[in-house]
């Protein structure tokens, strides 16, 4: 599997820190490098820089030019979202986010995107994470964040990691 370079949005970090942050260590050990922009980290109350680094994430401090550019743009995206886009584009990274407006903008800019749970799909496919453990983490994420990670998302995830769909009677 080719090495990936992934920049994480706050919503993905929060989901994993509320459910099982060890998944992030698995991703950084087996899939590729994980990055988080310092302004994004400031949104994550669940973790600080040293904790993220212990799980294999690299905290990136954007250049002043990127900060100025992100601060000048208008629209529905937050400053932190624009920083993610700028860093991903500049470095050729994929953006991992569950935020639909951020994902749309990344796609419009030609930046590859990934859903937060997709990292576990890749880990299961690579034999680095047991599918039952992955499903347990996905269910914890759903319980902590049911508005954005709904039952349908978890059902789709189950199919992607090899569980059969239950037939309705």
CA distance 73 to 168: 49
What are the tens digits of pLDDT across the range 10-37? 999 999 999 999 999 999 999 999 999 9
Give the model's pLDDT for residue 21.
Answer: 94
> What single string gives the DSSP state of each residue in 127-149?
TSS-HHHHHHHHHHHHHH-TTTS
Give the model's pLDDT for residue 166.
Answer: 59
List, in order, residues 6 or more apart from 85 with CB less than 8 Å away.
77, 95, 102, 105, 106, 109, 111
Q: What is the pLDDT along the chain (169 residues), one digit of tens a residue?
A: 678 999 999 999 999 999 999 999 999 999 999 999 999 998 888 888 888 899 999 999 888 887 777 778 777 888 899 899 999 999 999 999 999 999 999 999 999 999 999 999 999 999 999 999 999 999 999 999 998 899 999 999 999 999 976 555 5
Give the model's pLDDT for residue 101.
Answer: 94
Give the model's pLDDT for residue 90.
Answer: 93
CA distance 155 to 165: 8
Query: Taking Cα atoms as reference points, which of 3, 1, 19, 6 lies closest to residue 112?
Result: 6
What is the model's pTM? Answer: 0.90
CATH code for the domain in which residue 166 is found: 3.40.50.1010
Give the model's pLDDT for residue 43.
Answer: 87
Count the domains in the chain: 1
50's tokens: 């040293």
CA distance 7 to 80: 12
Give the model's pLDDT for residue 63.
Answer: 82
Give the model's pLDDT for residue 5.
Answer: 97
Residue 153: give the domain boundaries: 1-169
Axis-axis angle for helices 100-108, 79-91 (nearest 10)? 40
Query: Which parts of 19-151 are beta strand (E)?
Result: 32-37, 57-60, 94-96, 113-114
CA distance 161 to 169: 24
């Amino acid at each position: 599997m080719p090495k990936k370079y992934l920049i994480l949005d706050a919503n993905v970090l929060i989901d994993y820190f509320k459910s099982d942050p060890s998944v992030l260590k698995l991703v950084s050990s087996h899939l590729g490098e994980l990055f988080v922009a310092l302004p994004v980290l400031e949104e994550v109350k669940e973790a600080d820089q040293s904790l993220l680094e212990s799980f294999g994430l690299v905290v990136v401090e954007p250049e002043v030019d990127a900060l100025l550019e992100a601060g000048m743009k208008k629209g529905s995206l937050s400053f932190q979202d624009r920083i993610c886009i700028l860093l991903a584009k500049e470095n050729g990274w994929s953006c991992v986010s569950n935020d639909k407006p951020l994902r749309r903008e990344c796609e419009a800019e030609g930046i590859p995107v990934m859903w937060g749970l997709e990292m576990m799909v890749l880990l299961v496919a690579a034999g680095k994470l047991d599918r039952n453990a992955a499903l347990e983490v996905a269910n914890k994420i759903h319980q902590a964040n049911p508005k954005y990670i709904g039952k349908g998302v978890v059902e789709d995830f189950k199919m992607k990691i090899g569980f059969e769909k239950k037939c309705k009677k």
